[in-house]
């Protein structure tokens, strides 16, 4: 619980950070220094610049559609009539730059986008040159802030028909550049020599595409009801983004990721060590399809489309066996839920929780 005094201080800090962001947008000088701004202020600048870049792309597409519809209906919507209602939902978090966006108008969309991308680049460069404890606080604060935006997005999406896909502002890839601070080198993935002999589904050369989006990870964390000191296992952990995010926000949990591709494991472990998370977070190179390997007991298993049909069957059999001895939560992203849906019904598990437009599905054993 925050006292009224704490709340007032937080509000004042927020206003100061918002003002700094506005000043930067309006100035040609974008030099930022970690000596002058603390991690929380830098996080605020990063989140708002990344968010505004996505917003500018969204406004461009949305305005184009509006004009097309207007033409068909023989009407004309002014820019103010177009943009102001958006501040009631999608743009609500950017209310503090409402005047700026209204004044800059549609002819300046490209310019605003360039400005915001410039701020984002400067922030990340400044943070990258800072000590690891500054970086750790910056990432943690950025994740906390982005979590609020994803909740907002999830609320705005509720009531939309899933089969029509995401409607409105989509933040799935907005904060991907945060990976620069984790130093997740996707070039190694893009340069990898494709192994055509493996029967496993390795997403070779996928780069950032092999990872769950920050929105998925944060929504999963928010909705998994992790008890203190819980254990989490990521089956097919890629570059380790899920573990890194979970460990930063929940240092009490024990997280292990298993991954087939060695360079992904090395990079994930390096990031964990750099941020001092290695006591509770580790990644291991392991082919999970091998019958010689037994999945360790955990409270939560995370599965983002990792396996072939055969490997799913083998891995899920082990988790089901475990669920007869202890309660387990299985978080699935993408098609992975299909493998568990029928089995969970047969076992009379409660109806799973569908979030992120059904992309994320959380099963809990009976
Ligand atoms: C779609 S990615 C998900 C990465 C991560 N869990 C996330 O959500 O960000 C699936 C990962 O599973 C790994 N994988 C596939 N088959 C595997 C196996 N038999 N053993 C271990 N990992 C495997 C792939 O190499 C890939 O990195």
pLDDT digits (tens, 9 = 90+) for 180-238: 999 999 999 999 999 999 989 999 999 999 999 999 999 999 999 999 999 999 999 99
- Residue 174 Cα to ligand 1 middle (Å): 23
Domains and CATH numbers, the chain: 4-176 (no CATH), 187-364 (3.40.50.150)
Count the neighbouring beta carbons within 10 Å of the beta carbon of residue 82: 16
- Residue 125 Cα to ligand 1 middle (Å): 30
Span 86-96, average pLDDT: 91
Kindly report which listed range (142-146, 152-156, 208-212, 286-290) carries the lowest average pLDDT score.
152-156
| Confidence label for 154 from pLDDT (cuts 50, 70 and 90) | confident
- Whether 42 and 126 have beta carbons less than 8 Å apart is answered as yes
Nearest protein Cα to ligand 1, atom 2? 210
Q: What tokens appear for 94 in the block?
A: 């950017």
Span 40-53, average pLDDT: 95
- Residue 128 Cα to ligand 1 middle (Å): 28
Taking the CA of residue 82 as centre, how many other CA atoms within 13 Å lie in the half-sphere pointing to its CB? 21
Sheet holding 353-355, edge to edge: 281-285, 254-259, 231-235, 300-304, 329-333, 360-364, 353-355
DSSP letters along 8-34, please? HHHHHHHHHHHHHHHHHHH-S-----T
d(CA 194, CA 307): 17
- Residue 46 Cα to ligand 1 middle (Å): 29
- Residue 290 Cα to ligand 1 middle (Å): 14
For residue 133, the model assigns a pLDDT of: 97
| Confidence label for 266 from pLDDT (cuts 50, 70 and 90) | very high
For residue 8, the model assigns a pLDDT of: 81
Ligand 1 pocket by C-beta < 6 Å: which residues? 200-203, 210-212, 234, 236-238, 241-242, 258-261, 264, 286-289, 304-307, 311
From the CA of 288, give the closest atom in ligand 1: 20
- Whether 301 and 329 have beta carbons less than 8 Å apart is answered as yes
Q: Is the pLDDT of residue 276 over 60?
A: yes
- Residue 260 Cα to ligand 1 middle (Å): 7
Q: What tokens appear for 300 in the block?
A: 């939560």
- Whether 178 and 142 have beta carbons less than 8 Å apart is answered as yes
Span 168-183, average pLDDT: 94
From the CA of 290, give the closest atom in ligand 1: 19
Span 41-51, average pLDDT: 95
d(CA 256, CA 240): 9
Kindly report which listed range (34-43, 74-83, 247-256, 315-324) carries the lowest average pLDDT score.
34-43
Nearest protein Cα to ligand 1, atom 27? 238
- Residue 120 Cα to ligand 1 middle (Å): 30
For residue 16, the model assigns a pLDDT of: 81
From the CA of 308, give the closest atom in ligand 1: 16
pLDDT tens per residue, range 30-42:
678 878 899 999 9
For residue 163, the model assigns a pLDDT of: 54
Q: What residue ranges in the chain does DSSP mark as E strands? A: 231-235, 254-259, 281-285, 300-304, 329-333, 353-355, 360-364
């Amino acid at each position: 619980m925050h006292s009224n005094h704490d709340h007032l201080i937080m509000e004042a800090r927020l206003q100061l950070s918002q003002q700094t962001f506005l000043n930067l947008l309006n100035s040609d000088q974008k030099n930022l220094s970690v000596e002058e701004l603390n991690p929380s202020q830098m996080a605020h600048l990063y989140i708002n610049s990344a968010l505004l870049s996505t917003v500018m792309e969204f406004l461009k597409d949305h305005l184009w559609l509006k004009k097309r519809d207007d033409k068909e209906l023989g009407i004309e919507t002014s820019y103010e009539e177009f943009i102001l209602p958006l501040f009631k939902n999608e743009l609500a978090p950017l209310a503090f730059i409402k005047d700026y966006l209204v004044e800059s108008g549609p002819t300046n969309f490209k310019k605003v986008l360039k400005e915001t991308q410039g701020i984002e680049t400067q922030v990340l460069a400044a943070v990258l040159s800072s000590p690891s404890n500054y970086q750790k606080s910056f990432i943690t604060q950025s994740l906390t802030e982005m979590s609020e935006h994803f909740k907002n997005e999830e609320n705005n999406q509720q009531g939309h028909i899933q089969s029509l896909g995401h409607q409105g502002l989509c933040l799935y890839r907005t904060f991907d550049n945060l990976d620069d601070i984790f130093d997740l080198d996707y070039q190694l993935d893009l340069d990898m020599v494709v192994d055509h002999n493996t029967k496993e589904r390795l997403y070779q050369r996928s780069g950032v595409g092999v990872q769950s989006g920050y929105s998925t990870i944060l929504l999963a964390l928010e909705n998994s009801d992790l008890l203190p000191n819980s254990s989490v296992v990521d089956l097919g952990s890629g570059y380790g983004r899920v573990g890194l995010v979970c460990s930063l926000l929940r240092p009490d949990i024990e997280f292990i990721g298993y991954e087939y591709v060695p360079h992904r494991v090395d990079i994930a472990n390096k990031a964990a060590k750099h941020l001092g998370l290695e006591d509770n977070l580790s990644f291991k190179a392991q082919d999970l399809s091998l019958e010689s390997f037994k999945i360790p007991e955990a409270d939560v298993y995370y599965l983002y489309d990792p396996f072939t049909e055969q490997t799913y069957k083998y891995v899920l059999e082990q988790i089901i066996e475990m669920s007869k001895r202890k309660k387990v939560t299985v978080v699935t992203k993408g098609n992975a839920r299909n493998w568990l849906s029928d089995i969970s019904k047969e076992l009379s598990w409660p109806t799973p929780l569908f979030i992120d437009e059904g992309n994320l599905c959380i099963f809990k054993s009976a």
